[in-house]
Amino acid sequence: MPAVRVDGIEVAYDRVGQGPPLVLAHGAIADARQFRPQAEDLADEFTVVAWDEPGAGRSSDVPPAFTLADYARCLAAVVEDVDLGPAHVLGTSWGGTVVLELYRHHAEVVRTLLLVDTYAGWKGSLPAAEVRSRAEGAERMLAVPAEAFAPTMPGLFAGKPPPEAVRLLSVMSADTRPQSMRTELTVMVEADQRDLLPRIAVPTLLLWGELDTRSPVASVAHQFLEAIPRATLVVLPGIGHLSNIEAPEPFNRTVREFCRAHS
């Protein structure tokens, strides 16, 4: 298992395949296992790197004061540790917010951006009432006794999820650490990256599920499309928020074609 140490925090990641680097940043209540469908399919053409963000999977815990810039610094260290030059960097949901912050502070390690069903921070992409509702729901989830902690998020899929997706999410959810989730929540509620979007100068793929209710196409995806100069939007028909798991074949094909065109 490759790993890199950043300010005393060990950051683990998976690495498979050969070719231009494609670095994958998972969402909340997840880890590198979220990207198994991508690692298995894309490793024939790319060096696929999926991290366990600090506080998730095999990586070290995060201190309570960990910031969005700290997550970005750790992700930059992973790209540098892979040592293949600037990478195609993909982030889903919360991971997309981390990837945007990576570009803000470490643009030199980014060849292209692939933003998937994500946000410019909750504050930057959602109405204030929706942000409050999500924060309150997460606080209720975190308030239960440790033995009853079972994090969930509504609206991840457009329809009934595939059985293998349910199993994968259950396993990752069971491994979620409450303090890590609280840190993510604190960061996400206050994050507002709207100022960054017009300054993105690399090719950017916006990949969205048509029926994503957590990060709606009509509001959030089009916010990105209007603000990022070199952005392209691809919408996967009939798919929800967790598009890389719900529709791996069209998802992988779109990612492959975009990265191939910009390698």
- Over the stretch 173-193, which tens digit does the pLDDT of each residue have? 888 898 898 999 999 999 999
Of the candidates 117, 121, 81, the residue with the CA atom closest to the CA atom of residue 104: 121
User: Residue 58, class by beta-carbon neighbours within 10 Å (0-12 exposed, 13-18 middle, 19+ buried)?
Assistant: middle
Q: Output the tens digit of pLDDT for each of the chain's 263 residues.
A: 899 999 999 999 999 999 999 999 999 989 999 999 999 999 999 999 999 999 999 999 998 899 999 999 999 999 999 999 999 999 999 999 999 999 999 999 999 999 999 999 999 999 999 999 999 988 888 777 766 666 666 778 887 777 888 888 888 988 889 889 899 999 999 999 999 999 999 999 999 999 999 999 999 999 999 999 999 999 999 999 999 999 999 999 999 999 999 98
- Residue 236, SS3 per DSSP: strand
Locate 87 and state its tokens: 């990478």
Locate 231 and state its tokens: 């952005």
Q: Is residue 11 within 8 Å of 74, Cβ to Cβ?
A: yes
Indicate the length of the chain as a whole number.
263
DSSP 32: G
- Residue 133, SS3 per DSSP: helix
Query: Rounded distance, CA 155 to CA 168, Å?
Result: 16
